[in-house]
């Protein structure tokens, strides 16, 4: 009996539908080669659903997701709806309610033509970002008083718990051990990125990192303040290996990271609770102006689907998918990731067909 996985499919808004459609096309090809199956459950949440029903994402949907293996997610955000409403209910909703405390964001360059930095090659840019995904300024503790007056006070708390800090840092060390040293290094490295010199509450991160690091003598450690880290990312991205950081800084620096590897069209992420149902998405937004135009790159969602495969226990398939995408880029068949350079549907078909071709060649 082949394995069957239950996958929630939540395309969401804007380009979400088309990029998810292409990722599922690729998943069909992968399943046929790797001999597993998926039962896909469409989840309609997003702007259209909200406008029709007044419902963002009901508790029942989270309960259902808890019974699945993973969720493949497109994007959320629609100009017709109040900023943040759906993002908070659906994206943050999943991250918080399913306790997806690891936001895994690989920043890996597949070909130098995709990098805007002079002289940087794939060997120079291979970073794994671990963004804490449930706390910090995203914890939802905020408010305004005297709103609309000249005495208005606005406040949003950056909340860090010892448990929340420790579990993401520990996960970073575990991944570093699993990944092993980068070429030319004798140890894998974890860099802590924070702003503990100004945000003194982040001293909790400093202390927790030091304590956890002691338990991983085979891993080298480094530290950078977020401002300096942004600078080094542009100047010397080769210095970074595994990086662990807070929720808000992780949000920002991974957009910078995305630009080093080809942009929002290729940057993928996993919202993960190790061993439990997790959610996978491109880090891009819903890009409403491209909705339905077949112009958006589905590669971010396709690669996120690869992270999903790795998470549910299909690591071989995940590796083969990444190698397929890498090869299409390296050989110039995927020329550029700029919107409109290739059709969305064309990229999905290319990856699916190439996956099958490579599998056939290996069988011979």
**Angle between the 162-179 and 203-214 helix axes, to the nearest 10 degrees?**
40
Rank residues 208 and 271 by Cβ distance to ligand IPM and give the closer one. Answer: 271
Q: Are 128 and 272 in contact (CB under 8 A)?
A: no
Binding of residue 136 to Mn ion (CB under 5 A): no
**Residue choice 124, 136, 241, 251 for contact with Mn ion (CB under 5 A):** 251
> Phi and psi at residue 190, in whole multiples of 5°?
-115, 125
Tell me how many residues contact ligand IPM (CB under 6 A): 4
Task: Specify the stretch interacting with Mn ion by CB under 5 A; choose among 37-45, 115-123, 247-255, 353-361.
Answer: 247-255
**Cβ contacts of 265 within 8 Å, gap of 6 or more:** 284, 296, 297, 299, 300, 337, 338, 339
Q: Are 310 and 318 in contact (CB under 8 A)?
A: yes
Whether residue 138 lies in the annotated active site: yes
Rank residues 132 and 251 by Cβ distance to Mn ion and give the closer one. Answer: 251
Whether residue 227 lies in the annotated active site: yes
Binding of residue 283 to ligand IPM (CB under 6 A): yes
Closest chain position to Mn ion (CB): 251
Rank residues 27 and 226 by Cβ distance to Mn ion and give the closer one. Answer: 226
Tell me how many residues contact Mn ion (CB under 5 A): 1
d(CA 217, CA 214): 6
Binding of residue 68 to ligand IPM (CB under 6 A): no
Which candidate in 227, 235, 276, 319 is catalytic? 227
| DSSP letter assigned to residue 364 | -
Query: Which entry of ligand IPM, Mn ion, none binds 241, CB below 5 to 8 A by partner kind?
Result: none
- Shortest separation between residue 91's beta carbon and ligand IPM, angstroms: 5
Site for ligand IPM in 228-257 (CB under 6 A): 251
Q: Which residues pair with 36 in a beta bridge?
A: 3
Helix (H) or strand (E) holding 73: strand 70-75
Binding of residue 104 to ligand IPM (CB under 6 A): no
Whether residue 195 lies in the annotated active site: yes
Tokens 């950081």 correspond to: 245
d(CA 336, CA 263): 10
**Residue choice 7, 65, 91, 308 for contact with ligand IPM (CB under 6 A):** 91
Q: Are 160 and 136 in contact (CB under 8 A)?
A: yes
Binding of residue 87 to ligand IPM (CB under 6 A): yes
- Shortest separation between residue 142's beta carbon and ligand IPM, angstroms: 14
Query: Which entry of ligand IPM, Mn ion, none binds 87, CB below 5 to 8 A by partner kind?
Result: ligand IPM
d(CA 234, CA 316): 32
- Shortest separation between residue 328's beta carbon and ligand IPM, angstroms: 26
CA 170 to chain centre: 19
Structure tokens at 226: 């977020």
Binding of residue 354 to ligand IPM (CB under 6 A): no
Half-sphere CA count of 171, side-chain side, radius 13 A: 23
- Shortest separation between residue 251's beta carbon and Mn ion, angstroms: 4
Rank residues 38 and 103 by Cβ distance to Mn ion and give the closer one. Answer: 103
Q: Which long-range contacts (CB under 8 A, 24 or more apart) does 314-322 make?
A: 314/30, 314/34, 314/36, 316/34, 317/30, 317/33, 317/34, 317/36, 320/30, 320/33, 320/34, 320/355, 320/358, 320/359, 321/26, 321/30, 321/351, 321/355
Whether residue 136 lies in the annotated active site: no
Which candidate in 110, 138, 216, 225 is catalytic? 138
Q: Which residues bind ligand IPM (CB under 6 A)?
A: 87, 91, 251, 283
Q: Which residues bind Mn ion (CB under 5 A)?
A: 251
Residues with catalytic roles: 138, 195, 227, 251, 255
């Amino acid at each position: 009996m082949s394995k069957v996985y239950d996958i929630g499919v939540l395309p969401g808004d804007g380009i979400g539908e088309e990029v998810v459609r292409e990722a599922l096309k690729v998943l069909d090809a992968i399943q046929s080669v790797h001999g597993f199956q998926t039962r896909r459950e469409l989840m309609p949440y997003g702007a259209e659903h909200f406008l029709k029903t007044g419902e963002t994402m009901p508790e029942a949907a989270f309960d259902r997701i808890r019974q699945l293996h993973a969720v493949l997610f497109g994007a959320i955000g629609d100009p017709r709806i109040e900023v943040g409403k759906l993002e908070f209910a659906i994206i943050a909703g999943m991250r918080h309610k399913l306790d997806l405390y690891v936001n895994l964001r690989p920043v890996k360059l597949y070909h130098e033509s995709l990098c805007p930095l002079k002289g940087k090659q794939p060997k120079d840019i291979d970073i794994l970002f671990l963004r804490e995904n449930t706390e910090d300024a995203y914890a939802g503790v905020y408010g305004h008083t005297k709103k609309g007056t000249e005495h208005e006070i606005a406040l949003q708390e950056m909340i860090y718990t010892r448990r929340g800090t420790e579990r993401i840092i520990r996960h970073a060390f575990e991944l570093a051990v699993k990944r092993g040293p980068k070429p030319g290094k004798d140890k894998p490295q974890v860099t802590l990125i924070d702003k503990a010199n100004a945000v003194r509450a982040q001293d909790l991160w400093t202390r927790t990192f030091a304590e956890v690091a002691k338990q991983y003598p085979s891993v080298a450690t480094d530290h950078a303040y977020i401002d300096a880290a942004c600078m080094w990312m542009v100047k010397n991205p080769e210095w970074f290996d595994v990086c662990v950081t807070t929720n808000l800084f992780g949000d920002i620096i991974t957009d910078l990271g995305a630009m080093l590897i080809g942009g929002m069209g290729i940057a993928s992420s996993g919202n993960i609770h190790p061993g439990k149902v997790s959610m996978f998405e491109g880090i891009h937004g819903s890009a409403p102006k491209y909705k339905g135009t077949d112009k958006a790159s589905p590669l971010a969602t396709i690669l996120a689907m690869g992270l999903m495969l790795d998470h549910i226990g299909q690591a071989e398939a995940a590796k083969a998918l990444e190698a397929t995408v890498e090869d299409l880029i390296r050989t110039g068949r995927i020329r550029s990731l700029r919107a409109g350079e290739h059709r969305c549907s064309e990229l999905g078909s290319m990856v699916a067909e190439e996956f099958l071709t490579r599998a056939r060649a290996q069988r011979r």
